[in-house]
Amino acid sequence: MKQKLIDYFSSISPLSEAEAKAIHDSAVVKEYEKNTVLLKEGQITKNTYFVFRGLIRQYSLVDGEEKTAAFFTENQWVISLTGLNEEKVSTFYWVCEEDCVLLIGNDNSAQDLFKSHPRLESIARKIVENTFAEYQQTMMAYLNDTPEQRYLRLIESRPDLIQRIPQYQLASYLGVKPESLSRIRKRLALKR
């Protein structure tokens, strides 16, 4: 798993042997069982995660109803952008929807790594920028697209999710009730 992480960092910018070794030696990889809660609403966000294997869902509770905001799968970072610069309490949950293998990161370990290998800080910044750009694209699509367009975009961009998550979570992510998602699917099936 650690080699996958080095390969990931190398895809952003080539690493020296010393940088690759530092990443390898400092990486904390842990397995989590399905339904493990990584973060709860009201907790302070301390960790970031990189998904080697599995699926993490981010959701909020609104009037007792789960509102799914994101799914994180293999080779994606799970980062709370609001908690990067200061300790703020979370307004959402992160839950393992499958058994997961994750890299665990936090600011303290990152700062230690940056002190000995300053170039890694610019790579980390690029990762955060890429993550923010993905969030921004998702938000714009959510605001501008109809639920049917969101569903079609999801089938095109992340077809694996359709098979990996329950319909009620998919419906929540698309911003509709499960019955509406069923109608969308039926309508699309009839078009084919």
How does pLDDT run across 68-88, given as a tens digit for each residue? 999 999 999 998 876 555 677
Query: What's the pLDDT score for residue 168?
Result: 94
Q: Number of structural domains, the chain?
A: 2
In this structure, are 82 and 113 located in the same domain?
yes
CA nearest neighbour of 30 among 46, 47, 18 = 47
Torsion angles phi and psi, residue 30, rounded to 5: -140, 150
- The CATH number of residue 93's host domain is 2.60.120.10
> Is 129 domain-assigned?
no
When the pLDDT of each residue in the chain is averaged and rounded to a whole number, the result is: 91
In this structure, are 153 and 76 located in the same domain?
no
In this structure, are 83 and 161 located in the same domain?
no
> Model pTM?
0.89
Q: Answer yes or no: is pLDDT of 44 > 90.
A: no
> Is 187 domain-assigned?
yes
In this structure, are 3 and 48 located in the same domain?
yes
> Is 157 domain-assigned?
yes
User: Is there a contact between 69 and 59 (Cβ–Cβ < 8 Å)?
Assistant: yes
User: Can you tell me which residue has the tokens 């990161």?
Assistant: 105
> Is 191 domain-assigned?
yes
Q: Residues 170-186: pLDDT tens digits?
A: 999 999 999 999 999 99
Q: Residues 86-145: pLDDT tens digits?
A: 677 899 999 999 999 999 988 888 888 999 999 999 999 998 899 889 889 888 988 899
> Is 173 domain-assigned?
yes
* Domain end (from 77, 99, 122): 122
- Residues ≥6 apart with Cβ < 8 Å to 87: 44, 45, 46
- Residues ≥6 apart with Cβ < 8 Å to 143: none
Distance CA(167)–CA(149), nearest Å, equals: 17
In this structure, are 24 and 106 located in the same domain?
yes
User: Can you tell me which residue has the tokens 């940056």?
Assistant: 114
Query: What's the pLDDT score for residue 84?
Result: 55
Query: What's the pLDDT score for residue 1?
Result: 81
In this structure, are 140 and 53 located in the same domain?
no
* Domain end (from 75, 91, 122): 122
> Is 127 domain-assigned?
no
In this structure, are 53 and 6 located in the same domain?
yes
> Is 130 domain-assigned?
no
Distance of CA 174 to the CA centre of its chain: 16
In this structure, are 118 and 139 located in the same domain?
no
Q: Which residues pair with 136 in a beta bridge?
A: none
Could you tell me the residue range of the domain that residue 158 belongs to? 135-192
As a whole-number percent, the residues of the chain with pLDDT over 90 amount to 71
In this structure, are 70 and 160 located in the same domain?
no
User: Is there a contact between 84 and 33 (Cβ–Cβ < 8 Å)?
Assistant: no
Burial class (CB in 10 A: 0-12, 13-18, 19+), 147: middle
